[in-house]
Structure 1
Amino acid sequence: MAAKILVCDDEPHIVHVVAAKLRGAGFEVLTAADGQEGLELAREAHPDLIFTDYQMPSLSGLELCARLRADPATRDIPAVMLSARGFSIVDEDLTHTNIRKVLPKPFSPREVLAIARELLEGAAAGAR
Protein backbone atom coordinates (compact mmCIF):
# COMPACT_ATOMS: atom_id res chain seq x y z
CA MET A 1 0.00 0.00 0.00
CA ALA A 2 1.33 3.43 -0.95
CA ALA A 3 2.30 5.83 1.80
CA LYS A 4 -0.15 8.68 2.30
CA ILE A 5 1.26 12.23 2.27
CA LEU A 6 -0.59 15.44 3.15
CA VAL A 7 0.52 18.62 1.36
CA CYS A 8 -0.69 21.79 3.07
CA ASP A 9 0.01 25.18 1.47
CA ASP A 10 -2.07 28.24 0.61
CA GLU A 11 -0.22 28.70 -2.70
CA PRO A 12 -1.99 26.49 -5.28
CA HIS A 13 1.06 26.24 -7.56
CA ILE A 14 3.20 24.90 -4.70
CA VAL A 15 0.54 22.32 -3.84
CA HIS A 16 0.29 21.30 -7.51
CA VAL A 17 4.05 20.90 -8.03
CA VAL A 18 4.65 19.00 -4.78
CA ALA A 19 1.58 16.78 -5.20
CA ALA A 20 2.42 15.97 -8.82
CA LYS A 21 5.98 14.94 -7.96
CA LEU A 22 4.83 12.74 -5.06
CA ARG A 23 1.98 11.16 -7.05
CA GLY A 24 4.37 10.47 -9.91
CA ALA A 25 6.51 8.50 -7.46
CA GLY A 26 3.53 6.38 -6.41
CA PHE A 27 2.48 8.09 -3.19
CA GLU A 28 -1.15 8.77 -2.28
CA VAL A 29 -1.45 12.55 -1.86
CA LEU A 30 -4.01 14.60 0.06
CA THR A 31 -4.03 18.39 -0.19
CA ALA A 32 -5.16 21.24 2.05
CA ALA A 33 -5.30 24.96 1.27
CA ASP A 34 -4.64 26.17 4.83
CA GLY A 35 -3.61 25.01 8.27
CA GLN A 36 -7.11 24.45 9.60
CA GLU A 37 -8.04 22.24 6.65
CA GLY A 38 -4.72 20.44 7.07
CA LEU A 39 -5.44 19.78 10.74
CA GLU A 40 -8.86 18.33 9.95
CA LEU A 41 -7.49 16.15 7.12
CA ALA A 42 -4.61 14.89 9.26
CA ARG A 43 -6.98 13.88 12.06
CA GLU A 44 -9.35 12.21 9.61
CA ALA A 45 -6.91 10.49 7.22
CA HIS A 46 -3.82 9.88 9.42
CA PRO A 47 -1.19 10.50 6.72
CA ASP A 48 2.27 8.96 6.99
CA LEU A 49 3.97 12.32 6.34
CA ILE A 50 3.00 16.01 6.10
CA PHE A 51 4.56 18.78 4.02
CA THR A 52 3.29 22.13 5.30
CA ASP A 53 3.94 25.76 4.55
CA TYR A 54 5.05 27.91 7.47
CA GLN A 55 2.92 30.98 6.79
CA MET A 56 -0.75 30.27 6.01
CA PRO A 57 -4.11 31.83 6.85
CA SER A 58 -6.24 30.56 9.75
CA LEU A 59 -3.51 28.36 11.24
CA SER A 60 0.23 28.59 10.56
CA GLY A 61 2.26 25.52 9.73
CA LEU A 62 3.96 25.80 13.11
CA GLU A 63 0.61 25.92 14.92
CA LEU A 64 -0.60 22.99 12.82
CA CYS A 65 2.42 20.90 13.81
CA ALA A 66 2.11 21.86 17.48
CA ARG A 67 -1.56 20.81 17.53
CA LEU A 68 -0.79 17.54 15.80
CA ARG A 69 1.99 16.86 18.32
CA ALA A 70 -0.41 17.54 21.22
CA ASP A 71 -2.96 15.00 19.95
CA PRO A 72 -2.12 11.36 20.82
CA ALA A 73 -3.74 10.20 17.56
CA THR A 74 -1.46 12.35 15.37
CA ARG A 75 1.60 13.03 17.53
CA ASP A 76 3.90 10.67 15.64
CA ILE A 77 3.18 11.92 12.11
CA PRO A 78 6.43 13.50 10.87
CA ALA A 79 6.26 16.89 9.18
CA VAL A 80 8.42 18.89 6.81
CA MET A 81 8.13 22.66 7.07
CA LEU A 82 8.28 24.60 3.79
CA SER A 83 9.61 28.04 4.67
CA ALA A 84 10.02 31.19 2.60
CA ARG A 85 13.24 33.09 3.03
CA GLY A 86 13.01 35.53 5.89
CA PHE A 87 11.10 33.14 8.13
CA SER A 88 13.26 31.23 10.54
CA ILE A 89 12.31 28.38 12.79
CA VAL A 90 14.19 28.10 16.06
CA ASP A 91 15.32 24.80 17.54
CA GLU A 92 12.83 25.19 20.40
CA ASP A 93 9.98 25.12 17.87
CA LEU A 94 11.31 21.87 16.48
CA THR A 95 11.42 20.15 19.87
CA HIS A 96 7.76 20.94 20.63
CA THR A 97 6.46 19.77 17.27
CA ASN A 98 6.74 16.84 14.89
CA ILE A 99 8.85 18.82 12.39
CA ARG A 100 11.70 16.62 11.15
CA LYS A 101 13.05 18.87 8.39
CA VAL A 102 12.83 22.47 7.21
CA LEU A 103 12.93 23.01 3.45
CA PRO A 104 13.47 26.63 2.38
CA LYS A 105 11.59 28.00 -0.63
CA PRO A 106 12.33 27.97 -3.47
CA PHE A 107 13.03 24.25 -3.56
CA SER A 108 13.33 21.55 -6.18
CA PRO A 109 10.57 18.94 -6.51
CA ARG A 110 13.41 16.40 -6.44
CA GLU A 111 14.31 17.63 -2.93
CA VAL A 112 10.71 17.05 -1.82
CA LEU A 113 10.77 13.50 -3.16
CA ALA A 114 14.17 12.73 -1.59
CA ILE A 115 13.01 14.00 1.81
CA ALA A 116 9.75 12.06 1.60
CA ARG A 117 11.61 8.84 0.83
CA GLU A 118 14.19 9.47 3.56
CA LEU A 119 11.60 10.15 6.28
CA LEU A 120 9.24 7.37 5.25
CA GLU A 121 12.04 4.81 4.99
CA GLY A 122 13.31 5.92 8.40
CA ALA A 123 9.83 5.54 9.88
CA ALA A 124 9.45 2.08 8.33
CA ALA A 125 12.83 0.99 9.69
CA GLY A 126 11.89 2.26 13.16
CA ALA A 127 8.61 0.33 13.07
CA ARG A 128 10.36 -2.99 12.45
Structure 2
Amino acid sequence: MNQNGKRVLVVDDEPHLIKSLTFVLSKEGYEIDSAMDGVEALEKIRKSKPNLVFLDVMMPKKNGYDVCREVKADPSLRDVYIIMLTAKGQAVDKAKAFESQADEFISKPFSPLGVVARVKELLK
Protein backbone atom coordinates (compact mmCIF):
# COMPACT_ATOMS: atom_id res chain seq x y z
CA MET A 1 0.00 0.00 0.00
CA ASN A 2 1.75 3.19 -1.19
CA GLN A 3 1.06 6.34 0.79
CA ASN A 4 1.94 8.65 -2.14
CA GLY A 5 5.43 9.62 -1.01
CA LYS A 6 4.45 10.70 2.48
CA ARG A 7 7.66 11.01 4.49
CA VAL A 8 8.03 10.28 8.20
CA LEU A 9 11.14 10.95 10.28
CA VAL A 10 11.59 8.92 13.49
CA VAL A 11 13.94 10.61 15.97
CA ASP A 12 14.95 8.67 19.07
CA ASP A 13 18.15 7.54 20.75
CA GLU A 14 16.68 4.07 21.34
CA PRO A 15 17.38 1.87 18.28
CA HIS A 16 14.62 -0.63 19.16
CA LEU A 17 12.00 2.13 19.06
CA ILE A 18 13.25 3.37 15.69
CA LYS A 19 13.13 -0.22 14.35
CA SER A 20 9.62 -0.79 15.67
CA LEU A 21 8.15 2.39 14.17
CA THR A 22 10.09 1.96 10.93
CA PHE A 23 8.77 -1.58 10.54
CA VAL A 24 5.08 -0.80 11.07
CA LEU A 25 5.09 2.46 9.08
CA SER A 26 7.10 1.16 6.12
CA LYS A 27 4.68 -1.79 5.86
CA GLU A 28 1.98 0.82 5.26
CA GLY A 29 3.99 2.41 2.43
CA TYR A 30 5.42 5.47 4.15
CA GLU A 31 8.96 6.62 3.34
CA ILE A 32 10.81 6.37 6.65
CA ASP A 33 14.05 7.99 7.74
CA SER A 34 15.55 8.12 11.21
CA ALA A 35 17.89 10.15 13.38
CA MET A 36 19.50 9.32 16.72
CA ASP A 37 19.98 12.82 18.15
CA GLY A 38 18.60 16.34 17.92
CA VAL A 39 21.34 17.78 15.72
CA GLU A 40 20.97 15.01 13.13
CA ALA A 41 17.18 15.44 13.32
CA LEU A 42 17.37 19.15 12.44
CA GLU A 43 19.69 18.42 9.50
CA LYS A 44 17.32 15.79 8.12
CA ILE A 45 14.19 17.89 8.69
CA ARG A 46 15.73 20.87 6.86
CA LYS A 47 16.96 18.67 4.01
CA SER A 48 13.94 16.43 3.37
CA LYS A 49 11.00 18.34 4.91
CA PRO A 50 9.12 15.26 6.13
CA ASN A 51 5.34 15.36 6.46
CA LEU A 52 5.53 14.10 10.04
CA VAL A 53 8.21 13.75 12.71
CA PHE A 54 8.17 11.49 15.76
CA LEU A 55 10.48 13.36 18.11
CA ASP A 56 11.82 11.97 21.38
CA VAL A 57 12.18 14.49 24.20
CA MET A 58 15.39 13.27 25.87
CA MET A 59 18.18 12.89 23.32
CA PRO A 60 21.90 13.61 23.07
CA LYS A 61 23.26 16.87 21.61
CA LYS A 62 19.90 18.69 21.49
CA ASN A 63 16.65 17.78 23.22
CA GLY A 64 13.32 17.35 21.45
CA TYR A 65 11.82 20.56 22.85
CA ASP A 66 14.64 22.64 21.33
CA VAL A 67 14.41 20.82 18.01
CA CYS A 68 10.66 21.39 17.92
CA ARG A 69 11.03 25.12 18.67
CA GLU A 70 13.60 25.53 15.88
CA VAL A 71 11.46 23.69 13.35
CA LYS A 72 8.31 25.65 14.20
CA ALA A 73 10.23 28.97 14.10
CA ASP A 74 11.29 28.32 10.49
CA PRO A 75 8.54 29.48 8.09
CA SER A 76 9.53 26.85 5.51
CA LEU A 77 9.14 24.04 8.09
CA ARG A 78 6.24 25.31 10.17
CA ASP A 79 3.81 22.84 8.55
CA VAL A 80 5.84 19.77 9.54
CA TYR A 81 3.61 17.85 11.96
CA ILE A 82 5.52 16.98 15.15
CA ILE A 83 4.53 14.27 17.60
CA MET A 84 6.64 14.33 20.76
CA LEU A 85 7.52 10.95 22.29
CA THR A 86 8.54 10.58 25.90
CA ALA A 87 8.79 8.14 28.75
CA LYS A 88 7.91 11.07 31.00
CA GLY A 89 4.13 11.24 30.85
CA GLN A 90 3.55 13.87 33.52
CA ALA A 91 1.27 16.84 32.87
CA VAL A 92 4.25 19.19 33.13
CA ASP A 93 6.02 17.28 30.33
CA LYS A 94 2.95 17.50 28.13
CA ALA A 95 2.67 21.24 28.81
CA LYS A 96 6.35 21.69 27.93
CA ALA A 97 5.82 19.84 24.64
CA PHE A 98 2.95 22.10 23.66
CA GLU A 99 4.90 25.20 24.77
CA SER A 100 7.55 24.16 22.26
CA GLN A 101 4.72 24.06 19.66
CA ALA A 102 4.50 20.28 19.26
CA ASP A 103 1.32 19.18 17.52
CA GLU A 104 0.82 16.06 19.66
CA PHE A 105 2.32 14.19 22.59
CA ILE A 106 2.53 10.41 23.03
CA SER A 107 3.80 8.70 26.18
CA LYS A 108 6.01 5.62 25.96
CA PRO A 109 5.30 2.78 25.86
CA PHE A 110 2.71 3.03 23.12
CA SER A 111 0.97 0.70 20.70
CA PRO A 112 2.72 0.70 17.30
CA LEU A 113 -0.60 -0.20 15.64
CA GLY A 114 -2.28 2.74 17.36
CA VAL A 115 0.47 4.98 16.05
CA VAL A 116 -0.07 3.68 12.50
CA ALA A 117 -3.78 4.45 12.75
CA ARG A 118 -3.01 7.99 13.93
CA VAL A 119 -0.47 8.57 11.14
CA LYS A 120 -2.96 7.36 8.53
CA GLU A 121 -5.53 9.79 9.90
CA LEU A 122 -3.08 12.71 9.91
CA LEU A 123 -1.53 12.13 6.49
CA LYS A 124 -4.59 11.29 4.41
Report the TM-score when normalising by structure 1: 0.86
| Structure 1 alignment gaps of length 5 or more | 122-128
Q: Percent identity?
A: 37
Equivalent residue, structure 2, for 1:13: 16
Equivalent residue, structure 2, for 1:89: 94
C-alpha displacement of 1:95? 4.9
Q: Which moved more, 1:37-46 or 1:54-63?
A: 54-63
2:111 maps to 1:108: yes
C-alpha displacement of 1:16? 0.5
C-alpha displacement of 1:89? 2.1
C-alpha displacement of 1:103? 0.8
TM-superposition CA deviations, 1:26-47 (whole Å, max 9, x none): 0000100111101100000010
C-alpha displacement of 1:13? 0.4
Q: Confirm or deny: 8 A CA contact 2:65 2:100 kept in the other structure.
A: no
CA distance in structure 1 between the partners assigned to 2:57 and 2:114 by the alignment: 17
CA distance in structure 2 between the partners assigned to 1:86 and 1:100 by the alignment: 16
TM-superposition CA deviations, 1:79-103 (whole Å, max 9, x none): 111110355221x641542x22111
Q: Which of 61, 78, 92 does residue 81 from structure 2 map onto?
A: 78
Equivalent residue, structure 1, for 2:53: 50
Alignment coverage as a number of residue pairs: 119
* Change in 2 beyond 3 A, CA 1:11/1:58: same
| CA RMSD in angstroms, aligned pairs only | 1.4
- Runs (4+) of structure 1 exceeding 3 A deviation are none
CA distance in structure 2 between the partners assigned to 1:86 and 1:117 by the alignment: 24
TM-superposition CA deviations, 1:33-90 (whole Å, max 9, x none): 1111011000000101000111111111111110000111111101111110355221
Equivalent residue, structure 2, for 1:35: 38
